[in-house]
Structure 1
Amino acid sequence: MGRRDRLISTSILRAIFRTKSKKSNQPGILARILAFFSIFQLALSRYREELFRKLRNEIWGIEEEEYTESFRSPSRSKRTDLVAIGDLGYSGSTFFTTPNSKYLLKSLPRAFEQSFFRNRLLDPYVSHMSSSPTSLLVHITDFLYCPHTSLGALIGTAPSHHIVMENILYGKDSCSQSDQTQWETYDLKPNDYFYPERDIAGGRLAPESVKDRLIDEFPDKIRVGVDEKEDLVAQLNRDTRLLQDANAVDYSLFLVRYPAGISSASNTAIPAPSGKKSPWRTGVRSRDGKWIYRIVLLDFFWAKDALQAKAMTRLVNSYNLFKIGKDHGPMSITTSSDEYRSRFLKMVEGIVEVEDSAGRPSGEIRYPPQETV
C-alpha cells in the first residue's frame, strides 16, 4: 500500500476508534489550522454515530465489539492498516477492506452523492431496514465525513467522505488460491440505456479499461426454484420502491456466484457476511446444484434531480440536436426514477430462470388465474 493509501487508512481508523470522551472536546485553533493544511490524512468523524450503532446492533444483529475488532490487525505484532483494493469504480471512488475482509469501505468523491445520502435517503433507509429485515439494500454500517474544511478535500487529494458497508464477497479469502479464481462478480444495470462513453463516436470517448467497468453483462441465467425467485422479486420490489420514492436512479444489482462444491481452505463451510442471516446474503444454491448465488443492491446515491443529472440530460439533447450518431435515448442517470425501476426489475426477471410445471425453463413466474365471479 502506498503512502497516500496508508494515510487515508489512518484517518479512517482514527475515526472508528476515537472514543466519545475524546470526541466531546472541541478542537482548538491550532488543531483546526493543522486540519486545514492536511493533504492526505484528514480529520474524519462518524456521522450520526448512534443511528448507525442502532442499525448495526438492533436491526442487523452485529455485535459492537466484533464490528470494532474487524478494523484491527489479526496480529498484534503488525501495524493495523486497512487493505487497499484500488479504484474499482467509474466514479473514481477508492476502496479498502477491513483486515478480516468483513467490511468494505468506499469513498464518495462527489458532493451530490454525499448530500443525497445524508439529507434525503438516510432516514428512509433506516426506517426501511427496520420494517424489512430481509432487505437486499447493502448494509451501510458507518458514514465518515470531514467536519472541518481541509486543503486535501478541496483539491481532491484525499476523499472527505466514506461509507462502511458489508462485504458480500466475505468468505472468498478463506478459499484456496485456485478456488478464489472461480468466484465471479457482476455489477448489473439495465443495458438498454444510452452510455456516451460506450455509444458515442463508436465508443471512442473512453479507453477500454474504463468501458469494461461501465456496465457488466451476465452471460448465463440464475437458475433457482419458484419460491426463491418469488422471494427475490418481491424483496427487490420493496427495496426499489424506496429508491423510487427518493428519486434515486442508476443503482445496480451486485451478483456473486461461486461453485457449490468449493469450501474454505480448512474444509469448513464458506463463512457468510456479518449480521442477521438471509438466503440471498448467505447464498442460494442453484436449481442444478452447481452454483451458490449472493445478491445485494448497490450504488443508490444518484438523484434524478441532481444538477449533474440535469446537465447530462442537456448534453444528451445536444447530441440528438446535432445528430451525433443516431438519436440517443435516456441515460441511466437522467431517466425518471419510476422508468429506471421498471427497467431494472425487468432486467432481473430476464436473468432469473425457473422451471414450469412440466420441468421446462421459464423466465417468468406464472401465477394461477383468478376466478371470475
Structure 2
Amino acid sequence: MSWFSSVELGPPIEVFQLTKQFQEDDFPQKVNLGVGAYRTDEGKPWVLPVVRAAEKTLANDDTLNKEYLPVLGLDLFSSLSTKMLLGNDSAAVTENRAFGVQTLSGTGALRVGAEFLATYLGRTVFYYSKPTWENHRLIFLNAGFKEAKEYRYWHEEKHGLDIEGLLEDLNNAPEGAVIILHACAHNPTGCDPTQEQWGQIAKVIREKKLFPFFDSAYQGFASGDLDKDAWAVRSFVNQGFELFCAQSYAKNFGLYNERTGNLSIVLNNAAHIPAVKSQITWTVRGMYSNPPSHGARIVAHVLNSKDLFEQWRGNIQTMSSRIIEMRKRLREELETLRTPGNWNHITEQIGMFSYTGLNQSQSQHMVKKHHVYMLKSGRISMCGITPNNVKYVAASIYETLTALPSKI
C-alpha cells in the first residue's frame, strides 16, 4: 500500500521546461527567448554593479547578524519601497495612510495580499487580463478565492489593447471583485494602456466598486524611468483609491533568486492600519513565518544612499535601453526581409516581453526547426535577443511565416 498511489503527474511549467530543453540542445545557434531574465549583449546573466557594491559593504558590516527579521520584514526596506512606488510627496505617504510588507518577491506579495483579501474581507471573485502572467490565476485560487474571471486585453487583429472589451468586462464585474492590473510593461504582451485609457479603467473600477490590485514587476526596468513606470499606481492613489500593489525586485535589481518583494498597501484612513497590519502578520505567520534578509538589505542600502541610488538608476537605464534597442533592431531586420505582416507592435510594446503574433504551430516550428526557444503563445523575451543573434531570429521568423502562413 502507498498513500501516494492516487497522485497524478502534474503538467510541466512551460517556461522551465523550455529552459531545460535549451540547456540540453547542442545546436550552435540556439536562442533562448523563453526565460524572463535580463541578459547582456553577450547573452550572459548580469549582476548589477550597484548590487555587487552593496553586497561588499554589507559583508564587511560586523554589526549585521543572521537573526530572524520581524514577521512583516525589514521596516526600512518596506518603507523605502512604498515611497519609491508612490513618490515621496504622495498624500498617502505624507498622511501615513500607506505602508509596506516585505514578501517573497512579487509572487509572495500577490499571495499574501490575496489571502488577506479572501480571509478578512471575504472576497471570492477576481479578474485577470486575457492573457496574463500564468501564475496570477494559481496564486489567487490557492489563496482562497473561489471564482477566476478574465477581462479582455489583447486584440489579435490590432496587435494592441482591446480597451472596449476590457471596459465592458469590468462593467459586468460584480461589486467587490478584485481586479489584477499590471502597473507597467504588461506580461506577456508588452502592451500598456495610455494615460487616458487608465483614466477610463479607473472610472469603471470606482463606479462598479471594484478593488484594484496592481502587480508592479518592472518599475524602472520598463522605460528606465522610475516615475513614468509608477504613473498608473500613483494616478489611482491620487484619485483616492484604496489598493494593494505587489512589488518585485527580481528584474529592476536583478535579485531573481533572492526573492525580494514588497506589498504596498494604501488605505483612506490611517486609523485602520494597526488592525490590517496585525491580521497580515498572522497571514504571513501561517505561510512562511518571516522573510529572508539578504535581498532586502541590499535594496534598502541602495535606496537609502543618494550615490548608490543614482548608480542604480544608471543600471536600470542600461538594461531598459538595451531592450529598447533590440526591439528596434528586430523590427528593422524583419522589415528588411519583407517578413509577412506588420511589425510596428515590436517597437510599440514595452518591457521585457513581446507578443509577436505567431500562433502555436508557428512558435513550435521556431523551436523544432530553428532552435529558437519561445512560448507556444508567441511570447518572446526581448532580453534573449542580442546583436549577435538578432539576424538569425529574424530570419527564423521569416522562414516560419513563409512555411506556415497565416494571419499575422
For CA contacts below 8 A with separation 6 or more, give which structure has more relative contact order. Answer: 2
Q: TM-score, normalised by structure 1?
A: 0.23
> Whose helix fraction is larger, Structure 1's or Structure 2's?
2
Normalised by the length of structure 2, the TM-score is 0.22
